[in-house]
Amino acid sequence: MSATSADSATRPDVNIVVCTDEYGCARWYHRGRNADAILREFNDAVGVDDAARVQITTAGCILGCTYGPRFDVARRWSGEKTLYGSICGEATVTRRGRVNFAPIPDDLAQVIGDHLPESASLPARRHATAQPADIDLLRSVLRACCAGMGDIGIGLGEAVVMVHNAAATVSIPATLDCLEFVDGSGNPDPDGGIAVLTTDGDGRIALQLSRIRRLEFIHRTLGNGMPSYAIWMGDDQLETVYRIYLRRSENAAANPVRHRLFLALMDKYGSTVTF
Amino acid sequence: MTYIITEPCVGVKDAACVDVCPVDCIYTTDDDDMYFISPDECIDCAACEPVCPVTAIFAEEAVPAMYEEYIKINYDYFDK
């Protein structure tokens, strides 16, 4: 029989488990933070007074991959658990099935305070609030992607646009030449919830910003040695719904510029941006 | 591979591992004096290992020699 009893064991009020899976969470960034940064912020946030009440640990894949950082907060004093991810709301994920994610807040120290017994109701309230800041970020990323579009061969406008759903995939070569934001009535509005990309053929692609939850910059070298550049957007069900592949510009001088522009965007936002 | 709960859990049953397990694969009954991890359900995430206050949980291949009998105890529990 063990000499250690339950009474002598430390019993934290809150366990925070940060997914640092090297094949998943450790590689992804969400609003400038990856798993290591989240872990560091949590550790920094736990003061001496809270060290015995809050335990922060790492884990491999804690099923519920959101293609972004993930952590679980288990409130031992109430028996509840909150899943935080780079998406928010309901999603169907691997073995966990249908689960509800709370968004990862900017202030991780507040997460700790929220889950300690004195203020346990805060996470639910936070989860229910709208997140206009996320749409602002998406608008900023789209504007950055579209910078220079009107100058043929300079921006990221020479592309193959792919729209995908469970039943069909449509790929259309296009030259995207304009980005604007409109409101629900189609009126121009810099703060509108719909992004409209127009093409040289008078085509229009409308994106409901509130439904876009993930944007990925994908840069690969193909089997033939040629580089590939793509921007993928995913919805709240983690489905990739919209992809833009850059076409090689007929203006040869423009390709190195576009290469640098694409890598600069990856440096600025990370390979994955979640909203 | 799975994780194995060993002798230090006996009589303690702190349940910290149960709270953090993402797939709810840690079981016990009122009649049991310790917890057990279902080897078929464990996903090897290791979340349970560091939260155990009595260092009772080990990866199967890292169970200390003095606790090796608990590998069989753990498997047998789910073969009932």
Q: What is the pLDDT of residue A244?
A: 85
Burial A111-128, CB ≥16 within 10 A → b, else e = bbebbbeeebeebeebbe
Domain boundary among A81, A111, A126: A126
Give the CATH number for residue A98.
3.40.30.10
Structure tokens at A28: 């992804």
Q: What is the pLDDT of residue A275?
A: 74
Q: What is the pLDDT of residue A5?
A: 36
Nearest CA in chain B to A96: B23
Interchain contact B69–A (C-beta under 8 A): no
Q: Give the distance, in angstroms, between the CA of residue A204 and the centroid of all CA atoms in the same chain.
A: 25
Q: At A154, is the pLDDT very low, low, confident or very high (cuts 50, 70, 90)?
A: low
Q: At A9, is the pLDDT very low, low, confident or very high (cuts 50, 70, 90)?
A: very low
A138 and A269 housed in the same domain: yes
A149 and A268 housed in the same domain: yes
Structure tokens at A273: 């941006």
CB A98 within 8 A of CB A238: no
Q: Which domain holds residue A66?
A: 3-126
The residues with which A74 forms a beta bridge, in sequence order, are A15, A81
DSSP readout, A58-97?
A: EES--S---SS-EEEEEETTTTEEEEEESS-EEEEEGGGE
Interchain contact B43–A (C-beta under 8 A): yes
Burial of B1 (0-12, 13-18, 19+ CB in 10 A): exposed
- What average pLDDT does the segment A65-73 reach? 82
A235 and A150 housed in the same domain: yes
Report the side by side order of strands in the sheet with A97-103: A54-59, A14-19, A70-75, A80-85, A97-103, A89-93
Interchain contact B42–A (C-beta under 8 A): no
Q: Does residue A4 carry a pLDDT above 80?
A: no
Task: List chain B residues with pLDDT less than 50.
Answer: none
Query: What percent of chain A is predicted at pLDDT more than 90?
Result: 2
Domain count, chain A: 2
Structure tokens at A214: 């993930």
**Chain A closest CA to B23's CA: distance in Å?**
7
Q: How many CA atoms lie within 13 A of A178 on its CB side?
A: 12
**Chain B closest CA to A272's CA: distance in Å?**
23
A153 and A264 housed in the same domain: yes
A137 and A270 housed in the same domain: yes
CA distance A83 to A27: 19
The whole-chain average pLDDT of chain A stands at 77
- What average pLDDT does the segment A118-125 reach? 38
| Range ranked top by mean pLDDT from A94-108, A133-147, A258-272, B21-35 | B21-35
- What average pLDDT does the segment A6-19 reach? 71
Q: Does residue A90 carry a pLDDT above 50?
A: yes
Phi, psi of B67 (to 5 degrees): -110, 10
Interface of A with B (CB under 8 A): 1-2, 4-6, 9-12, 15, 17, 19, 21, 55, 57-64, 72, 74, 76, 79, 81, 95-96
Q: Does residue A241 carry a pLDDT above 80?
A: no
Phi, psi of A214 (to 5 degrees): -150, 140
A93 and A199 housed in the same domain: no
A119 and A207 housed in the same domain: no
Q: ipTM of the assembly?
A: 0.73
**Chain B closest CA to A14's CA: distance in Å?**
10
A148 and A200 housed in the same domain: yes
Report the side by side order of strands in the sheet with A272-274: A204-208, A194-199, A169-182, A158-164, A240-246, A227-234, A214-221, A272-274
Chain A residues within 8 A of B50 when measuring between CB atoms: 55, 57-58
A106 and A143 housed in the same domain: no
Domain boundary among A103, A126, A149: A126
Higher per-residue confidence, A49 vs A159:
A159
Burial of A54 (0-12, 13-18, 19+ CB in 10 A): buried
Q: Does residue A6 carry a pLDDT above 50?
A: no
A122 and A137 housed in the same domain: no
Domain boundary among A71, A95, A126: A126
Q: Which of A24-28, A86-90, A130-134, A267-271 shows the lowest mean pLDDT across its residues? A: A130-134
Q: At A95, is the pLDDT very low, low, confident or very high (cuts 50, 70, 90)?
A: low
A254 and A184 housed in the same domain: yes
Q: Which of A61-65, A180-184, A216-220 shows the lowest mean pLDDT across its residues? A: A61-65
Give the CATH number for residue A149.
3.40.1570.10
The pTM (predicted TM-score) of the whole model is 0.51
A104 and A19 housed in the same domain: yes
Structure confidence by residue, pLDDT tens digits, A167-190? 888 888 888 878 888 887 778 888
CA distance A115 to A118: 8
Interchain contact B28–A (C-beta under 8 A): no
